[in-house]
Structure formats: C-alpha cells, structure tokens
Chain A
Amino acid sequence: MSPRAQVYILAALLALMGAGLTIYKNRELGFPLLPGEYRTVWTIEAKVRFNADGGPVKAALTLPREQRNMEILGETFSSSGYGFNIVRENDEYRAVWSRRSASGAQSLFYQLDVHQTPGAPLEQPLDLSTEVRKPFLEAREQEAVRLAIYSLVENAHERSSDPRTLTTQILTALADKGNQDRNLIFGYYKDRSLVDVALIVLAAADIPAHRIRGLYLEDDRRRLDPEDLLEVYDGKRWVVFEPTSGSPGVPKNFFIWQRGGKSLLDVEGGRNSQVTFSVIANDVPARDVSMLSTSKEKEALVDFSIYSLPIEQQSIFKLILLVPVGALVVVLLRVFVGLRTSGTFMPVLLAIAFIETQLFTGLSIFTLILVLGLWVRFYLSRLNLLLVARIAAVVVTVVILMGAISVISYKLGIEQALTVTFFPMIILAWTIERMSIVWEEDGPYEVVVQAGGSLLVAVLAWWVMTNSYIEHWTFNFPELLLVLLALILVIGNYTGYRLGELMRFRQLVR
C-alpha cells in the first residue's frame, strides 16, 4: 500500500474513532456539544424536627430509592451530635440518626441533588405485596358508609373495563362533590385525606393499592409537606395515579420519595415529630451534571480520563489540550500560506503565554523583552563568549528583565504586567539569540519579517485557542484530538501551492 493511501486510511480511522467517541459522549453520557448549556439540578432538603424527651433518641427517615426519571447526583446528611447510618429494610433505605440523650427541639437534615432525565420511562418495577386487606366495615354504625362505598364501587365498575379504568372512575367519583355516595363517605371519614379514603375504597373494590409520598419540584419552595399519590396494581404492574384528577402516570416534576411501605418518619424518644421539605432549583453547567451522574456509574470512558485527575491538574490539562490546536494553526499557516516564523512551534508557546497575560499585555511585554534582550545580546556578542554561556547570559538577562517589568509595573499599578512570568524564558532567550543572528546575517528587515511572522502566527493561534467553542471541545471531548490528528495527517499530504508561492512565482505567469 502506498504511503499516501495509508495516511488516508489511518486518518479516516482516527477521525471515525474520535467522532464516534464524541457522539457517544454527547448522546449517551449527556456531555453538551456546545458551551453554555445548563441543566436544572434540584436541591431537596428534608428537615426532621421533633422535641426530644431527654432520654435516648432514634429517628428513622425513609430515603428515596433510585428512580428512572430522576437521577440522584449526590446526598449529604447533617446531624451534629448524632450517630448516623443508613439501614436497608424490606427493599427500602432508611436514614437512622441516634443519640444517647437529647432534650429540647432537635433538627436533622438530609439533602440531595436531583436531576431530571427527560425521556426516561416513568414507572419502574416494584416488588411489593399485592395482597388486598379489605377494610373492616362490618360494625353496625358503619353500615351506611359500607353501602355507600360498595355502591360507588358498583357504579364505577359498570363504567369501566379493567383495574386501570376502574381506578380512574373511582377517583373521579371521589372528586365529584355532587356524588351522594362520595359525600356520605367523606362525612364518615371526616379527618382523612383524599388518598386515605381512596385507599379504603380501592381495597373494597379488590384492587391492590398503596400510597406514594413525594414532592412537586418547584423552585424556591420552603416548608413543604409531602404530597401523596396512589399506586395501583393492574394485574401486571404498578401504575401511579394522581388522586384528584384520577389520571394515570407520574405528574411532571413529581419526585417520588417513598413508595408503599409504612411511615415516612419514625421517632423514638421524641414527640411532635415532623418532616418538612424545601426545594431549590440550581442551573448547573450541563457538563458538571454529566460528570456527576457518570461518576456514579463508573463509566470507563470518563473514569479513565482527564476528569479523574484532581481539579488542579485538570486546569493544567485544559491548557495543554489547547497546544495541539495551536500546532494545527502553525501547520495550516506553514503548509497553506508559507509564513516564515522564528522557530516552528515557538508561536504556540507564545500563544499560551498570551492566554494567561491577555493579548495586548502579552504583545507589549514580548516586544519589550525582545528589544531589550536584543540590545543586551549585541553587547554580549562583543565579549567573545562561548555560545552556551552567551545564551545562558541571555536567559539570566531575560529573567532580570521579567523581574524588573513585574516590579516596576506593580509599583505603577499595572497589575496585568505581573503575568510576565508566564512567558517561556528559555524559548525567549533562544528567540533573542536567533533574531540577533538573523540581524547580523540578513539585516534588520528580516528580523522584522520573522518576528512579525511569529507574532502573527502567535496571535492567530491565541485567537483560535481562546475561542470558547474550541476551549469547550478540547477539554470536554479530548477524543477530538484524534480528529485533529487525522486532519494534520491529511494536511501533511498536501502537495499544492502555498499562498505565498502564488505571489512568489507571479512573474513566471506574465
């Protein structure tokens, strides 16, 4: 196979791999393709309050289980002075706080961050008993209520075909204020909530059902009491119903805290116990959300990547990952334009320094150091030094210049010039050395051409590297480097004319 064909095949493979990984990360892991995408993360705080009796205290709060439409990104517990652990009880997690002795008002907190994953199926299998315990209604004084309940169920039964429609009919009947049976039932169960009554009626109708506790996620809500929904077994699986409307399905923005089971909160050794919830919505960069959710699943692509590094190293890599982009700019300008620079990749290093210093500060500092350095170098050249010693002397001079620039500008109140330390001083020293030789050999004009070319490339590289899209892509999709590599390989095969040659050979055409 000819080298050229190999290059194209290799480039195609690399590009496919890079693009494929990028698409996978975007589609499956939810990494945003464009910068500035935000997702809503809900912070829910459960506050447990009670009055302790003075003796040993134990408080147990049921915790939400994993659910498909809501992703739990992280949870925190706070409970000063309390022992804390999470116990698993009948397929249910409970947070247990305990303390040898406590008295007075106590507050315990449990906080979790949730992110809604749109499009995920709402219901999920649940392994709960489908046994129906019929309500006890045989007492004499309950006869009227019993008849009302059975008549309501009878009516609903006639107007329905299966457990689902039956449930809907029962719930609409219970919501209908003009329904005689309904009014009678509610008259009997005066202090019961709609869900309590619905559970009794459903049991009477032989439909397995239980209560769901949860919250409607709305921004900036405080002291919320948990809301109740119904879950009904239709013979095959569990279906959630909204009790007031009687429609099946989990309402939008509803966060399920507890399904079935017993109480939400148990407190031993305290009184007046109570759980209240507060909800806050945060707009968090989409990438952070993806990071949090994938870190739980230990996605190999994310786990064995730059994200697994400490934050400080990550920020260094953020810069390093831009270097290939700068190199691409150099390649483009070399191969397609034919720009002359001093040192092939020196402009990239300059561009990195410019990122830290801001462009105009960087440009002026660079020019200043170059001019002063050249001036010192001309004097040094008269001293008959060996090359290495002379360059070392220039390095020292550059360092002194950098120090002087920092101190003077700081005293003058130009804080930006303090960033001078980001300049690669060895590279600067070499640049000064090369420039001075170019000056001696080819004259000052060539120095201006080469320094100007280097600066032009550096500014272009800086411009590309500071582009917010480029920054976003290189850091969040490092696999795009493969695409970039493929691009460089293909460019390396270009045998056409350079832009500069169109000018250079113009006389030949006329």
Chain B
Amino acid sequence: MLGFSMKHMLTKLRGGMVSPLALHRLGILGMNARNINYIARYNDRDKYPIVDDKLNTKRAAKRYGIPTPELIAAFETQPSRSRVMKIIEPLWQFVIKPARGSGGKGILVIVGRDGDRYKKPSGAEVTAEDILRHVSNITSGLYSLGGKPDRVMVEALVDFDPIFDNYSFEGVPDIRVIVFRGFPVMAMLRCSTHDSDGKANLHQGAVGVGLDLATGKSCHAVQRGLRINKHPDTEMPFDKLEVPGWRDLLRLASSCYEMTGLGYLGCDIVLDRKRGPLLLEANARPGLAIQVANGVGLCTRLRHIEKMDLEQLEKNVEDRVNYSVREFAAAK
C-alpha cells in the first residue's frame, strides 16, 4: 500500500484494462448484460425462493429425485441451547448453514472433535459456545440478504470423493455448472488454496479450473486471473484432472432446470465418495468468474441456445446433455 505513486497507478490502470470491443468479440458476458438479458428475462421472481432458501431447494430436490447432502436437522426459529446440543452431541462431523445465506457466508464446517472442542477444516478449534453463537447469529439474520431472520440447517458433512484430494487445500472442492434453459453451457471446478484460506471463492484466491463439457477434463486453470498449470499448494498438474461420472453430473445439473424452473441457473455440485454427485445449492444469480476459469466467454453459447426454436427446447434431460456435450466441447 505504501510505495505507490499516482503515476504508477495510472500506468497500471491503463495497462490493466482492455477495450470493451475486444471483450465483446470474445463473447464475454458482463454483469449488466447478465442482469438484464439473462437473469431478468429468464428467471421469474416467484421461482427465486426455491433457490434462495436452501431448505426449499432440498425439499424440491427430493421431489425430483436429485441427490443432496443429508439434512440432519433444521431450526425454524432461535433454538434453545439444549435442542442444539441434543442434535450436535452425537455428531462427529457436520456442517451448519444459514438457509438463506449468500456467497457462502455463514457456513461452519466441523470435521472432527475432541470432546468439547470442535475442529474446523483449517485446524482451528471452536467450542460449543461458539457453535451456539453461530446458530444464534444465523437465526437473527446476520448472513441473510437484507438481514431477515433466517433458518439454520445442520447437514451431514459430505464424504468427499478422494479424487480431488490433491487439488484442494484445506477446503471443499465443488463444481459449478451454468445451466441455460436446461442446457449445461459451462462448468468449472473451484479448488481452495492456502491463499484463499480454504474458501472456494475465486476472488479470494481459489483456483478456478475450467472443465471441458464433453469429457469433464480440465481445459484451463486460473488463480487470481492468471493462468496456471498446477495447484499452487499441492503442485499437482491440472491436465491429469478428470471428473469421474461426468455424464451423471451433467444430468443432475440439467435436471435442476425442471426442479427450479429458472432459465439461467448456476448449480453447485460436490462429489460424494459413495453417492456420486450431490446438489449442494442452486443459484439464480451465478457469477461471471466461470468465464475466467474457462478462458471462454459465455455469450456465444448462450446466444446459440437462444436461437433454438421451441421444439429443440422441449427435449428431455438426456437429449439436452447430449446436445451440450456435442456443441460445447472445448476442442471445438
């Protein structure tokens, strides 16, 4: 912070910017265009509660046969201390989440315990008191949009597929798939790093790995906007990375379209060792970082689907996935 001069800042600013025409040519989707042309146009307001409240998402997923992490308990209102303790007591590993949290805020992951001391993935320990306070914070709406009172979910910790163990540091790797009108259009794997403090947010230093829609193989990887070839902490090269059961994962993502009724949708999916892909949450306002991770703009693919006629849009999940795999392969 100290050593910068105005001149240095200006040259950096000018050098750090590209012309909007170049972005347009590459088909990069901007925030304003996303909000007006896709979210406002294809996502009906009344469908938002299904994705904005994770308890609703879970309920809907159950109806549509979409697998999700197991729900252990949910607190509608501020629970009494004994009620929380009664639920937590027998558990070894669990996740506490706000039902309406945004941007991964307010998620407390406990990976193990030592009597009264609960261990977080980073190795830090928290006490039962801390957990109770966290629950109380969630119910009073600290993490929800607009500070509205919220519900608390206690979920089983996903037994992560060890395939990603070498690609993630301290945290949970998850796969984000953008689904447009039922067609998967782009996917990425988010790997936490030491830099990102175990979080999977790209702007905090997590690695974004673009995944080839055809194969589930890595095609591009980026950390803090710069292209990389291997994980910065584990030194594992990304070109060997391949998501197992890729078709199933795409099918799951694609079927979220029917479940939510949202035209422009981001699905967050994790891989369970035994159960395969699980829907973690769906997002009606998925971010744009996926373009950086893939090194490709979204617009071209979105327009491709927008040009389709009604008949093509009425395909079932299997046909849609096949279509996407064929059309949006990275090699093309």
Q: B-contacting residues of A (Cβ < 8 Å)? A: 335, 338, 384, 386-388, 437, 441-443, 493-499, 501-509
Contact = CB atoms under 8 A, between A and B. Distances in A.
Contacts of B70: none
- Chain B interface size band reads 35 or more
B19 interface: yes
A495 B36 contact: yes
A497 B32 contact: yes
B18 interface: yes
A493 B40 CA distance: 11
Nearest to A433: B142
A335 B33 CA distance: 10
Interface string B206-229: 000000000000000010011100
Interface stretch (B132-140, B157-165, B238-246, B259-267): B132-140
A118 B64 CA distance: 80
Given A386-B136, A506-B225, A495 B32 contact: yes
B23 interface: yes
B6 interface: no
A388 B140 contact: yes
B291 A505 contact: yes
A497 B22 contact: no
A384 B129 contact: yes
B310 interface: no
B32 A502 contact: no
A495 B20 CA distance: 12
Chain A contact residues: over half helix, strand or loop, or mixed? Answer: helix
Contacts of B184: none
Contact of B26 (A388, A437, A493, A508): A508
A386 B24 CA distance: 48
B18 A502 contact: yes
B331 interface: no
Nearest to B107: A441
Contact of A506 (B17, B78, B141, B143): B17
Interface string B108-140: 000000000000000000000100110011001
A497 B19 CA distance: 10
The 3 closest A-B pairs by CB, nearest first: A387-B140, A495-B33, A497-B30
B204 interface: yes
A498 B34 CA distance: 12
Interface string B291-308: 110011100000000000
Given A386-B136, A508-B26, A508-B291, A497 B20 contact: yes
B33 A496 contact: yes
Contact of B16 (A437, A493, A506, A508): A506
Given A338-B31, A386-B140, A493-B36, A506 B18 contact: yes
Contacts of B140: 386-388
Contact of A502 (B17, B129, B222, B227): B17
Given A507-B226, A508-B296, 20 more contacts: A335-B32, A384-B136, A386-B78, A386-B136, A387-B136, A387-B140, A387-B141, A437-B142, A443-B197, A495-B30, A495-B33, A495-B36, A496-B20, A497-B28, A497-B30, A497-B32, A498-B31, A499-B17, A502-B18, A508-B292
Contacts of B316: none
